[in-house]
Structure 1
């Protein structure tokens, strides 16, 4: 149990908001104890055309919970024609985590939820942990990388930054983690969501 929890905290994910977009970055490594199993894992789930969710935690829980959330949000979209907007989706996801915490099989998953509200034309970013804590934030991080990245994000984050400037801030975070963390997570996957939808961008 101790090895598994240590492995999940070695995962690194960052997110920040900018002028009309949200950027999410997550490492692509799958780790079991001291072994790196894979280096091409996509930990950023596309929940709807304008909603992304980055997961970290116990490997089985992250996959199951992400797929459960994706299927239910897709079902809502089919039934109601319109998809859930980010604030509503965040509240529902938080409730699902809180309910699972009070069950016999709670999910051990930390989340970063980023989305673009097509009704108000504003980006939203939410920090959610395995206890069901929810906070809307301008930037966020999970894992051991957060110890090094949060101070950089606090110093360099600009809510009016262009996409290129936002990527530059993410590069600072990745470089700092690779220099200071004992085990470098390696490759990162970066996705952006804005008025045009979701796409992968090069870091």
Structure 2
């Protein structure tokens, strides 16, 4: 029941995500931060399989840092989004190529390809701020679709958050208006989903950088009891 959504306002972008780490019917923790700070002015919020989500977002973060280290300038938000999309597409195409090649046997019956690749089952909202173009938000799904959007969402919560944003979103929103809309989306998700995530984290990026804005918690993880 993951929920990730975001929107672009007046000189800023805001992203919110649930913080539940679940597997099947089990909740492992309710304070998992699914929004990573890529660099000083970029955020990447992801939903999907836990292993893919963590591994892929860390991979993107390190490569964005490597580019800046090698070239002395950071990637723009659009460039980072296109790089992310390219890595998802590459992993997806490797699987297709493997399936084709492994279906072809040599005369001895030995497969031509012995390696194994997996696509990343991860959906991403990438938000950032650039001096030249201002704030932006990019929608990237697990089959490597890329769109620049004013608002976007993934997960079961998207059914309700997109409806709320369609009704209340307008260009040039202030931070206060955007956070109020985010809270409306969270309240709608909590009241409509049968199994709704209790906690959310909200992060914002603007000319002053990417940072955590607030948590919306209704359940706290219990600490480990002392012996």
Q: How does the TM-score come out when normalised to structure 2?
A: 0.83
For 1:181 and 1:82, the matched residues in 2 are separated by 43
1:80 aligns with 2:80: no
Task: State the match for 1:41 in structure 2.
Answer: 32
Residue 37 of structure 2 contacts residue 211 of structure 2 at CA under 8 Å; is this kept in 1?
no
Equivalence for 1:144: 156
CA distance in 2, matches of 1:42, 1:82: 27
Secondary structure at 2:33's aligned position in 1? Answer: coil
Assess if the C-alpha contact under 8 Å between 1:85 and 1:118 holds in 2: no
Distance in 2 between residues matched to 1:12 and 1:48, nearest whole Å: 23
TM-score by length of 1: 0.93
SS of the aligned residue for 1:190 comes to: strand
CA distance in structure 2 between the partners assigned to 1:43 and 1:37 by the alignment: 14
For residue 197 of structure 1, the aligned residue among 205, 209, 213 is 209
- Please give the per-residue CA displacement for 1:136-178, whole angstroms capped at 9, x wherever unaligned: 1100110000011111101111221110100001111100000
CA RMSD of aligned residues (A): 0.9
Q: State the SS of the aligned residue for 2:198.
A: coil
Give ranges in structure 1 of 5+ residues lacking alignment: 1-9
Q: Which has the larger radius of gyration?
A: 2
The list of structure 1 runs, each at least 4 consecutive aligned residues, that deviate by more than 4 angstroms after superposition, is: none
SS at match of 1:74: helix
Unpaired runs of 5+ residues, structure 2, are: 95-116, 217-227
Write the distance in 1 (CA, Å) between the matches of 2:168 and 2:25: 33
The secondary structure found in structure 1 opposite 2:144 is coil
Aligned length: 193
Matched, 1:93 2:84: yes
- For 1:157, the equivalent position in structure 2 comes to 169
Superposition map of 1:35-184 within 5 A: 35-103=26-94, 104-120=117-133, 122-184=134-196
Which residue matches 1:7? none
Distance 1:200 1:67 in 2: 18
1:99-152 per-residue CA deviation (whole Å, 9 max, x = no partner) reads: 1111221110000000001233x1110111000000111001100000111111
